[in-house]
Structure 1
Amino acid sequence: MTEQRVAVVTGAARGIGAATAERLARDGFAVAVLDLDEAACEEVAGRIRDGGGSAVGVGVDVADAAAVAAGVARVADELGPPVVLVNNAGIIRDNLLFKMTEDDWDAVMGVHLKGSFLMTKACQAHMTEQRYGRIVNLSSSSAQGNRGQANYSAAKAGLQGFTKTLAIELGKFGVTANAVAPGFIQTDMTRATAERLKVSFEDFITHTAAQIPVARVGQPEDIAATISFLVSEEAGFVSGQVVYVAGGPLD
């Protein structure tokens, strides 16, 4: 890179988001670490700075338009115009359909879909001005359907359509858009799923790994590595794609 580009990663206080933020910093990006809790963001940003990188932690509710506008403006002011966006922020409110509340549905749609829409709309203004950009949205293997996750599955499937539309609309400005759809990744979110199913996390991992062709569950770093490629300059001809990172074939 002739000059340091700025990457924004949402939901970056832990798990896949934190691993991605740290990976992109190692790749040479200045990184804005976004999540609800700014103190938690600063822990990740601090690790990046301690390693010689450039980073800032910003507390943002991605489902709040005013908060997103202020947060992206702060990133642009403190680091520079964001030309890479990783929409990773997500929550689960799992339940069977007949038990799922309207609030459960709205909360998941708000973070995954509305949040990605608001963040992308704010960041693409900088990307189109720079005539360069990379957008990666976090989908999931659950987009194909998963018991107890009608809201989450619908949101993750929606992000795939959102991604393809972004690729069509923004390509002429030098902006690519792709989605990464993780399979089972060992994170706090999958731990919460184990708790919902009333099984130990260790047993859950062992049982799941036995069904995955590569015979292990995924780690946040596996997803960060895929994102690293998709946001690189070399990936400029890859756009509108959904990449399943699941240890085996998924349609």
Structure 2
Amino acid sequence: MPNKNAQQNHDVMFPNHVSTLKKTDPEFIDIFDNFAFDEVLQHIQIETKLRLKVTLASLIAMQCLNEYKAMLTAALNVGVTPVEIKEIVYQAVPYVGLGKVFDFLNGTNEVFAEKGISVPLEPQSTTTPDSRMDEGLKTVRRIVGGTVDNMLTNAPENQKHFATFLADNCFGDFYTRNGLDDKTRELLTFAMLVSMGGADPQVKGHIAANKNVGNDKQKLIDTITVLLPFIGYPRTLTALNLLNEVIPEDKD
């Protein structure tokens, strides 16, 4: 049986729900629930809504559609708004690619339909085709610093368009949207990158970016801790090592 704390935390997310795995794999589900919904939560200070937001971002990055849809229901149950959920999905596009996000757009709409949530939602864009580059540059400078400016200045001519895309598309089209603030978007980006694996330089860059927007080292440790049951130990420990490289423990 799940312990009392695990059961209570599970019931907050999934009221009146009995997992099918509880019937087919009761030993496993007890082990997982006791770990993910009690032991892990004893070591974090992230509030429930943010915990579920970073979990959704992680599941998108790992292509876990069924678990995503389950946790999407949990997110709605604890008060994460439909706008916030759609923004999490949109935020994933520049980092994991539409090829991976496409199914999650459809999956989100399916869950929304089941819950009686009408789409499309209210528009959240704050830029136009004419303003996206300038606003993107302002945003990327605020969050990341001079990285894109340096690329625009120093990259070979046949590669400068990647810097332009980072400014006008990644930041101008997505980061400037309403619905989520800079701190949340950066934490989501960090969650996606560590969950994908194979993006260590980008993970390190976004650790620094998180610090720039006010997410301290403990917030990033909490995020890694939250993700552990879903991403496993290898990617968790890799993320922790990268975090300690960028923000050494004695210099935080």
Q: TM class, shorter-chain normalised?
A: 0.3 to 0.5
Larger proportion of strand: 1
Q: Which structure has the higher relative contact order (CA within 8 Å, separation 6+)?
A: 2
TM-score (structure 2 length as normaliser):
0.32
